[in-house]
């Protein structure tokens, strides 16, 4: 009996979407308020994952500029990556993860991300077969794109990604103000 190939872990970072048909690939990510979509085509045995920070750009932002932080861009990118590997939109099935509201003092970004992901799938006619969305706890996701197998677990609060306030540069998050 031939040896099974060893798994190669591919970390999906915020702002990324990747697809694969390689049975030796396992995609992983950690989510707080971000959402990850795991798409799978069981006939083509192709799958993919994205990881987005925000649902859609503000209405005043130029629609010609795509930003990889936004679900609007990353959902389309993921679908197109899978189509390029032989998947068919009509056979795609989705699982959604993340969208937690980790900090009760900040806007419910996770809830908005979760709502966007659900609406996108419905609008595109891609069935959602499972979701683990919202709540207050972060998640670690592991996905094998060639088989569609997903493992999700809660991440301890002290190791969870933090949700930073929007519209403030990283330098403005501390207690020192520079002029």
CA distance 64 to 62: 5
pLDDT in tens, 5-44: 688 999 999 999 999 999 999 999 999 999 999 999 999 9
The model scores a pTM over 0.85:
no
**Domains, the chain, ordered by start:** 8-173 (3.30.1330.200)
pLDDT in tens, 127-152: 999 999 999 999 999 999 999 999 99
Burial per residue of 50-63, b for 16 or more beta-carbon CB atoms within 10 angstroms, e otherwise: bbbbbbbbeeeeee
The helix/strand/coil state of 164 is coil
| Angle of the 71-84 helix axis to the 109-124 helix axis, nearest 10 | 40
Tokens 């390029």 belong to residue? 84
């Amino acid at each position: 009996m031939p040896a099974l190939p060893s798994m190669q872990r591919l970390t999906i970072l915020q702002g990324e979407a990747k697809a694969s048909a390689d049975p030796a690939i396992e995609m992983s990510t950690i989510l707080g308020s971000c959402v990850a979509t795991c798409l799978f085509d069981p006939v083509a045995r192709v799958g993919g994952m994205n990881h987005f920070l925000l649902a859609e750009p503000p209405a005043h932002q130029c629609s010609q500029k795509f930003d990889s932080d936004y679900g609007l861009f990353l959902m389309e990118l993921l679908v197109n990556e899978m189509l390029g590997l032989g998947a068919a939109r009509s056979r795609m099935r989705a699982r959604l993860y993340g969208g937690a509201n980790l900090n009760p003092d900040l806007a419910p970004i996770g809830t908005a991300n979760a709502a966007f992901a659900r609406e996108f799938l419905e609008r595109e006619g891609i069935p959602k077969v499972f979701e683990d969305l919202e709540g207050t706890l972060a998640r670690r996701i592991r996905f094998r794109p060639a088989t569609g197998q997903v493992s999700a677990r809660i991440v301890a609060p002290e190791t969870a990604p933090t949700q930073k306030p929007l519209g403030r540069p990283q330098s403005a998050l501390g207690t020192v103000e520079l002029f």
